[in-house]
Amino acid sequence: MQLTYTPEQQAFRAEIRAWMEANVPKEPLVTLECREGYDQHVAWERTLASGNWGMVTWPEAYGGRGLDLIQWLIFEEEYFRAGGPNRANQNGIFLLGPTIMEFGTEEQKQRFLTPMAKGEVIWAQAWSEPGAGSDMAAISSKAVRDGDHYVITGQKTWSSRAAFADWGFGIFRTDPDSKRHKGLTFILFDLNSPGITRRPIRQLHGDTGFAELFFDEVRVPVENCLAGEGEGWNVAMATAGFERGLMLRSPGRFQATAKRLVDLYRQHEAEASPAAREAVMQAWMAAQAYAYNTYAVAAKIMAGGKIGAEASLNKIFWSELDRSMHRTAMQLLGAHAELKRFDDGSVNQWLEGYIFSLSGPIYAGSNEVQRNITAERLLGLPRVGAG
């Protein structure tokens, strides 16, 4: 165990800090969940790419910098220190990208990774279906082989970014006689393909980020299949591991929120309850704990280890931490909590953040499912329900 940064790592931190200070938009962008905000965020992805900061851990050949996970964490810390915007392409760079790196052919890496790192192609996920939410193995959307194409028919829903994004990925049933986890294939598709209809869904906050996708005999080339036909479940589980276990929510995000919460407490100290004060301390402590754990996970992966079912612990922890920090902020704000914009015209980021935080324990696999996974795979308790 060695918990100090090398001079090279410190120099790298200084380099990112200087770039971020010069380039991060001074005013917060409009929310990513609407056309205007989406366009602003995509423009930011391209600015990041112009500095070659799109995805620092990827090999240079695929638009990255070939850096290790500690450098990635330093990048993320500086990113959130500077108040960097949400990443429009997070489904691509944090979920699909690592999955392609692990399962993709060389041709697929060449074709998909660089445009992803450069923000030229923005990705949506397409996991859930109306009948397959927490129970993802109940997927019924079909991809039927026809020559060198799959013909996709079915429906996906809650597809993040799908209202505006360029491409999507998900798993589809390629073996019509298969059940549950078998006979599924991981397929990448152009969201502008003929036969795809997007129906944006208005979310709790009133804006539109995710969408329903209807597939009506959509033809997708076979080379868009990731790993082998029928391998979809295993590939999807690896993607979920990246999502829950490491990349989707780096600690800097929560440490930045905890710091803002400390500042908010100072502003409201006179009227705050002792319980709120303790909740603020808990926020700082939990965000730090999350950071230490992430450094440990990164070190483990760098030493050749893999992310296993403990990714579920991670997902439970960050999602409930985020909700609790924002709940505390809403309490501190009191009567001001309901305002969408404060008296000075600034957006009430705490309200937006609180509403968004309510989705955390639901997306990327509900926390009830994560607790089942924890109990069954980490603790070894008996399984229930359909396997």
In the list 1, 22, 270, 386, the residue contacting other proteins (rule: CB under 8 A) is: 1
Cβ burial, residue 145 (10 Å; 0-12/13-18/19+): middle
Instruction: Indicate whether 290 belongs to the interface with other proteins (CB under 8 A).
Output: yes
The SS3 of residue 120 is coil
Which whole-number Å values give the CA distances from 184 to 150, 212, 229, in the listed order? Answer: 13, 20, 7
Stretch that binds other proteins, among 3-11, 182-190, 331-339, 348-356 (CB under 8 A): 3-11
DSSP 224: G
The SS3 of residue 310 is coil
In the list 289, 330, 339, 362, the residue contacting other proteins (rule: CB under 8 A) is: 289
In 3D space, the residue among 28, 78, 95 whose CA is nearest the CA of residue 352 turns out to be 28
User: Among residues 45, 129, 243, 310, which one is catalytic?
Assistant: 243
Nearest-angstrom CA–CA distance, 123 and 161: 7
- In the annotation, is 33 catalytic? no
Instruction: Indicate whether 383 belongs to the interface with other proteins (CB under 8 A).
Output: yes
| Residue with smaller CB distance to other proteins, 87 or 253 | 253
Could you give the count of Cα atoms lying within 13 Å of 47 in the half-sphere of its Cβ?
16
| Residue with smaller CB distance to other proteins, 63 or 251 | 251
Cβ burial, residue 136 (10 Å; 0-12/13-18/19+): buried
Site string for other proteins, 73-92 (x = CB under 8 A): ---xxx-xx-----------
Please report the beta strands in 94-148, taking only residues with DSSP state E, as ranges in sequence order: 123-125, 142-146
Instruction: Indicate whether 378 belongs to the interface with other proteins (CB under 8 A).
Output: yes
In the list 22, 204, 379, 386, the residue contacting other proteins (rule: CB under 8 A) is: 379
In the list 19, 214, 295, 363, the residue contacting other proteins (rule: CB under 8 A) is: 295
Nearest-angstrom CA–CA distance, 255 and 77: 9
Pairing outcome for strands 142-146 and 149-160? antiparallel
Closest contact distance (angstroms) between CB of 245 and other proteins is 12
Instruction: Indicate whether 262 belongs to the interface with other proteins (CB under 8 A).
Output: yes
Read off the tokens for 43: 């423009």
Q: How many residues bind other proteins (CB under 8 A)?
A: 62
Closest contact distance (angstroms) between CB of 276 and other proteins is 12
Cβ-contact 212, 156 below 8 angstroms: yes
Instruction: Indicate whether 376 belongs to the interface with other proteins (CB under 8 A).
Output: yes
Site string for other proteins, 313-352 (x = CB under 8 A): x--xx-----------------------------------
The SS3 of residue 279 is helix
Pairing outcome for strands 123-125 and 167-173? parallel
Closest contact distance (angstroms) between CB of 313 and other proteins is 5
Which residues are catalytic, by number? Answer: 243
Q: List contacts with other proteins (CB under 8 A).
A: 1-6, 9, 13, 17, 70, 76-78, 80-81, 251-253, 255-256, 258-259, 262, 265-266, 277-278, 280-281, 284-286, 288-293, 295-296, 298-300, 303, 310, 313, 316-317, 368, 370-372, 374-376, 378-384
